[in-house]
Amino acid sequence: MTDPFGPAYFADPHSVFDRLRATAPVYRSDRLRRFVLTGYDDAVAVLHDTATYSSAVVPQVPRRDSDLLAGFTDWSARWLFFLDPPEHAVRRAPVAKALGPRRIGGSADRIAALARGLLTDLPPHGFDVLADFAHPLAARVIADLLCAPGAETDRFLAHARAMEHAGIHARDPDARRDGLAAIAAATAALRHRVTDGTALAPVPAALRDAWGADRDLVGAHSLVLLFAGVETTQNLIANAVHALARQGLWDRLRADRSLLAGAVEEAARFDPPVLGVLRRATRDVTLAGVPVPAGAELVVMVAAANRDPARFPDPGRLDVRRSPNPHLSFGLGPHYCPGAALTRVTARTALDALLDACPRLRIAEPDLPWRDHDPIVRGLTRLPVHASAG
């Protein structure tokens, strides 16, 4: 089989996943230099077995960027993404508490006000859902949790926009350097805030209460919320709008808002913002008859597992009433996303506001470009819509 993870993959990864799941559910990709898993049961087994499949797959900063991100690899190694038990459980508890439903529940009104404010300022004929709405909404929601109001929030919003281009797979070297510089600036600001004696925003304050004045630890987990939380939330919103409008479900949701929660879950299953998660085998294992040596890295393609027909009837159909819907888009087991509640509330509130402001929303272009800088990130580069309310 020709390695399917070429340029065409980014436009339609689900066709690639369907083909691999049917013919090679555990596939060694030379392009990705990893084993790729596409079946639901294999994904569940790997995500649960933290002893055999380690999360300590820390991205290395290329030498060409070491001047901007000195020490970043050591710092990012403390992120929850890359920790294994028992340290992971210890570090996850205060993060989950800071971002849990009890803490986040009171944010819905604030998120709704932000969403309505953004939509009020947009031109009535049409706009870019991603650039004009989903990104600024996600960034401001996260900034509220991380930053003091005012100039600090404005700086962090600028950092969040630039960070989108910081991935090691990014093709534009100037944009990538700007993104890395934004990470460095945000890192310095977060580390300083932990120990400068000033009042902290809700999340850093909660983490400092748990961990004391360890500015690297508190700063690292605050940064990952900015770096990862904004991108995944904005892409979930935009991917959901794209899928719902393309599938002709916008009018149905407008008429019955009780379907919104199910629509968010189904959009997360159908076209999630994170296609896969990385693991490393700690011993020689065999998966679906394929030997995987100790030390090999794997990509658990949760987006592929989400469309496994053995688990999801009619998986290629967007069904806002799907139940049960045990998708893996927020992870599983110990590494279940601690920010899932916030992401769900933000996405649901965003869709509700869009349905009010744009009851006849339609996608403005037949073919839209998808980001092609990272094989496990799923997001459009733009989402222009006709938004007439008439």
Q: Which residues contact 281 (CB under 8 A, 6 or more apart)?
A: 52, 53, 54, 292, 293, 294, 295, 296, 297, 298
Residue 75 CB neighbour total at 10 angstroms: 19
Tokens of 202: 């809700």
Alpha-carbon distance of 221 to 64, in angstroms, equals: 25
Q: CA angle 239-18-82, nearest 5°?
A: 65
3-state secondary structure of 291: strand
Mind giving me the DSSP string for 265-325? Answer: HHHHHHS-SB--EEEEESS-EEETTEEE-TT-EEEE-HHHHTT-TTTSSSTTS--TT-SS-
Q: Answer yes or no: are the C-beta atoms of 378 and 239 closer than 8 Å.
A: yes
Greatest C-alpha distance within the chain? 62
Q: Going from the N-terminus, what domains does the chain have, and what CATH number goes with each?
A: 7-386 (1.10.630.10)
Residue 106: per-residue pLDDT: 76
202-226 pLDDT, tens digit each: 787 788 788 876 777 777 777 778 7
Alpha-carbon distance of 10 to 379, in angstroms, equals: 10
Q: Answer yes or no: are the C-beta atoms of 79 and 224 closer than 8 Å.
A: yes
Q: CA angle 22-26-30, nearest 5°?
A: 110
Which H or E element spans position 299?
strand 297-300
Residue 390: per-residue pLDDT: 46
Please list the ranges in the chain whose pLDDT falls under 70. Answer: 58-75, 148-153, 159-173, 175-176, 190-200, 213, 389-390
pTM, 2 dp: 0.92
Q: How many CA atoms are closer than 13 Å to the CA of 7, on its beta-carbon side?
A: 2
At 204, which amino acid appears? P
Owner of token pair 């969403």: 115
Asked if omega into 86 is within 30° of 0 (cis), the reply is yes
Q: Which residues contact 182 (CB under 8 A, 6 or more apart)?
A: 158, 159, 160, 161, 162, 163, 166
Number of H helices, E strands in the chain: 16, 10
Alpha-carbon distance of 289 to 305, in angstroms, equals: 18
